[in-house]
Amino acid sequence: MAKKGRDRMSTQIMQVSKHYGDVKALQSVDLSIRKGEFIAVLGPSGCGKTTLLRLIAGFDSPSDGQICIDGQVVGTPRAILPPEQRNIGMVFQSFALWPHMKVKEQVLFPLQYHKAAAREANLNKEKRVREVLEMVGLQHLAERLPRELSGGQKQRVAIARAISANPSLLLMDEPLSSLDIELRMDLRREIQALHRRTQASIIYVTHDQGEALAMADRIVVMKDGKIEQTGTPEEIYEKPATLFVATFVGKTNLIRGKWEKGVFQPDLAVGAVQWPDRDFPLCFKEKQVFPVRPEQLRIVLAGPGIAGRIINRQYLGKEIHYTVGVGPDIVGVHAGNHCSFEVGQEVYLQLGYLPVTI
């Protein structure tokens, strides 16, 4: 039974650290990716997510620990298997297309030179190029050079090149960050469709929480070279394990107050205000804060509630985003457009609906 479990693992990162002199870019990272799984690595700039991707790709060696892909040890402090001998594909933020190669030549390149290219993809290279270009909707642009393509088309070529050799592991380093918002939404759907079609494992590095929540099977949240939490998008959003995850993913408000006998009493509350414990991690109680999402708060004109004042208002069509000053703190509230409050208005905040837990 244990052997079957190991076979299902595409990639295993075991106690991996990476140091650059005194700088600890990664610290004892453990992560297992199952075959066909879509993993988003999420975190702010400098958290170590791109370093982790480089180690998996074989561009660098770990200072400690080891990396295995498809049961083969590919990276240790003493030896690394070069990228072209790993069964991987890579999509870069900057497209990284060769300016002198036509679209079809870009896609053909891995089939000619990638030593780990899948045998079935290599048997008929021209057929495979046509198949992959059709997957990304670029078959009609096969003869064009990169300078003749739009940004979105270039990124589709980069994706086609990465999947042409039918890799078991696809690495994507912020592939949509240089594109406009509408194009990003379109390519999100296309990447998800390609994932379902190719069944490759994907490690997708991003700082965009919306991308991670929308696309991934599991999210790995990183901070300061360490993994803060790993879980499904629902687990990360609804049950953050640390204060950092709560505030980074979804911009949770940390309402100050006092925990006592399983209930929370907010500061600056007017009237009898007690909020129930919903199995919050101990870190929130130690800091004497209550985590609540902007959509879980309700603005009313009369107490009981937390006294505050509207200091900003953004109309977004189906909802309005308010910024409420509560003493020295700023609280975000997302409300429907059925009721409207004005900047400068004195209001009260109540805990809105309880079905969603954090």
Residue 123 is predicted with a pLDDT of 67
Under 8 Å between Cβ of 218 and 232? yes
Under 8 Å between Cβ of 203 and 230? no
- How far apart, in whole angstroms, are the C-alpha atoms of residue 123 and residue 107? 15
Under 8 Å between Cβ of 215 and 188? yes
Share of the chain above pLDDT 90, in %: 68
How high is the mean pLDDT of the chain? Answer: 89
One domain for residues 98 and 166: yes
Helix (H) / strand (E) containing 316: none
pLDDT bucket at 250, cuts 50 / 70 / 90: confident
CATH classification of the domain holding 79: 3.40.50.300
Residue 181 is predicted with a pLDDT of 85
Token pair for 297:
């708060």
Residue 105 is predicted with a pLDDT of 94
One domain for residues 281 and 187: no
Longest dimension (CA), the chain: 75
Asked if pLDDT for residue 244 goes beyond 80, the answer is: yes
Please report whether residue 244 resides in a domain: no
Q: Which residue has the tokens 């298997």?
A: 81
- How far apart, in whole angstroms, are the C-alpha atoms of residue 160 and residue 66? 29
One domain for residues 160 and 36: yes
Please report whether residue 344 resides in a domain: yes
One domain for residues 60 and 148: yes
Residue 119 is predicted with a pLDDT of 59
Please report whether residue 340 resides in a domain: yes
- pLDDT tens digits, residue range 192-234? 998 998 888 999 999 999 999 999 999 999 999 999 999 999 9
How many structural domains are present in the chain? 2
Asked if pLDDT for residue 85 goes beyond 60, the answer is: yes
- pLDDT tens digits, residue range 92-137? 888 889 999 999 999 999 888 766 555 555 568 888 999 999 999 9
Asked if pLDDT for residue 185 goes beyond 70, the answer is: yes
One domain for residues 218 and 182: yes
Residue 94 is predicted with a pLDDT of 81
Angle, helices 125-135 vs 103-113, to 10°: value is 130
Query: 283: domain range?
Result: 257-351
Dump the DSSP string for 25-41. EEEEEEEEEETT-EEEE
Residue 182 is predicted with a pLDDT of 84
Query: What residue ranges in 81-200 does DSSP mark as E strands?
Result: 88-91, 169-173
Residue 157 is predicted with a pLDDT of 94
Please report whether residue 321 resides in a domain: yes
Q: Which residue has the tokens 């929370």?
A: 264
Residue 60 is predicted with a pLDDT of 94
One domain for residues 147 and 204: yes
Asked if pLDDT for residue 353 goes beyond 70, the answer is: no
One domain for residues 89 and 177: yes
One domain for residues 165 and 234: yes
pLDDT bucket at 148, cuts 50 / 70 / 90: very high
Residue 28 is predicted with a pLDDT of 95
Asked if pLDDT for residue 18 goes beyond 90, the answer is: yes
CATH classification of the domain holding 311: 2.40.50.140
**3-state SS class at 107:** helix
pLDDT bucket at 355, cuts 50 / 70 / 90: very low
- pLDDT tens digits, residue range 330-349? 999 999 888 889 999 999 99
One domain for residues 328 and 204: no
Please report whether residue 152 resides in a domain: yes
